[in-house]
């Protein structure tokens, strides 16, 4: 599969942003990561005074055949029901996106049920009615995985048509912490039990079953940990593939990506495995309570902006991080320099 080229980070713009940060009316470095974020954004966007006014969250929804193995506390029907909740504006992501001034795009890339054609707000990109049961064989065919990646790239292009400065990734799919944990184990090299958490709240017996099912899926499919596409096909998810496509397309357009939690970070591992330069355009929004999330962030060399004990998904943590990212740009562009304010910069 051919992917778009990713532009290099603009080091000149980053240096200009850093120089301005160091001339603002504050001790150099006193705003910590807010300064670092603005400098990173300048390099990503090739603009020494970057703006993130136009913000969007893309929520990919899909079901998982492995849910038949009892790896979730909720039935697969909840995926369909939650998509309807998103479309009616009643979910956490809707509330938080409104607060952040971000648009919300809901994508059916693999929900196991069909939606009413009258739901015009739903973006219909269904590749299949969920994945196959990865405990018994590959989750997807190569063609399905390629199509889902392509659909993700196309959705980003569509959302960016009228201009886009910053995009967050969101997910919905009952059972999707199971493929995400499988991806984490394979691409970090850690044992399954060290990266597998309770997801939607399974009990101790459910967690043990979930770990055993992931180990079975890996043993059955033998994914190549050095081949992100092979991992995606054998133990991934359609929404994970779609989000990886979103990240690749965004990076190709110099649009920074705010990666949400465990599922979105699994998608980031896939995206970076397929196109390593994508990593330069990623921010980690938060550290999830899922036990494997920190290992995934370590693998990507990303440091989360928030740690709020979140585990909802939907893009909620990423949209919360929008506020910090926007604050960093406003500090850079709106604060006076020592010269402008007539303040001495000598200690």
CATH code of the domain covering residue 115: 3.40.50.10210
What pLDDT, on a 0 to 100 scale, did the predictor assign at position 347? 66
Domain that holds residue 82: 55-324
Output the pLDDT for position 93: 98
Please give the pLDDT value at position 49.
98
178-195 as b/e: b if 16+ CB within 10 A: bbbbbbbbbbbebebbeb
Say whether both 42 and 83 belong to one domain: no
346 within domain boundaries: no
pTM of the predicted protein model: 0.97
Which residues on adjacent β-strands are paired with residue 55?
102, 166
**CATH number (domain holding residue 26):** 1.10.1610.10
pLDDT at 206: 86
pLDDT confidence of residue 73: 83
Which residues form the catalytic set?
314
The number of folded domains in the chain is 2
Question: Cβ neighbours of residue 335 under 8 Å, at least 6 residues apart?
Answer: 24, 25, 26
Contact partners, residue 238, CB within 8 Å, separation at least 6: 60, 62, 109, 110, 127, 128, 130, 131, 140, 144, 148
**Please, what are the averages of pLDDT over each run of 10 residues along the chain (347 residues)?**
96 98 94 97 98 98 94 91 97 98 98 96 98 98 98 98 97 96 98 90 87 97 98 98 98 98 98 98 97 97 97 96 98 94 81
């Amino acid at each position: 599969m051919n992917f778009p080229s990713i532009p290099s980070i603009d080091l000149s713009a980053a240096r200009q942003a850093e120089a301005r940060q160091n001339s603002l009316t504050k001790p150099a470095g006193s705003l910590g990561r807010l300064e670092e974020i603005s400098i990173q954004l300048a390099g990503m966007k090739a603009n020494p005074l970057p703006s993130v006014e136009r913000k969007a969250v893309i929520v990919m929804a899909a079901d998982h055949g492995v849910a038949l193995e009892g790896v979730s506390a909720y039935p697969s029907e909840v995926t369909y029901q939650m998509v309807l909740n998103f479309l009616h504006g009643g979910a956490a992501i809707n509330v938080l996106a409104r607060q952040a001034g971000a648009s919300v795009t809901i994508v059916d890339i693999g929900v196991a049920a069909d939606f009413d054609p009258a739901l015009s707000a739903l973006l219909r990109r269904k590749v299949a009615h969920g994945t196959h049961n990865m405990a018994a064989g590959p989750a997807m065919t190569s063609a399905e995985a390629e199509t889902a990646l392509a659909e993700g790239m196309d959705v980003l292009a569509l959302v960016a048509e009228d201009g886009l400065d910053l995009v967050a990734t969101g997910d919905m799919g009952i059972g999707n912490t199971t493929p995400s944990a499988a991806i984490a184990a394979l691409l970090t090299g850690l044992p399954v039990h060290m990266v597998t958490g309770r997801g939607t709240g399974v009990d101790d017996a459910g967690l043990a079953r979930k770990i055993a099912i992931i180990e079975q899926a890996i043993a059955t499919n033998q994914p190549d940990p050095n081949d992100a596409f092979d991992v995606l096909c054998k133990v991934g998810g359609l929404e994970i593939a779609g989000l990886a496509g979103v990240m690749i397309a965004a990076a190709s357009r110099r649009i920074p990506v705010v990666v949400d939690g465990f599922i979105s970070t699994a998608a980031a591992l896939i995206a970076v495995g397929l196109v390593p330069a994508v990593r330069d355009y990623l921010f980690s929004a938060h550290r999830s309570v899922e036990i494997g999330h920190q290992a995934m962030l370590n693998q990507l060399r990303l440091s989360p902006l928030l740690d709020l004990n979140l585990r909802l998904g939907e893009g909620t943590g990423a949209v919360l991080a929008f506020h910090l990212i926007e604050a960093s740009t406003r500090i850079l562009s709106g604060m006076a320099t020592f010269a402008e304010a007539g303040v001495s910069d000598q200690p």
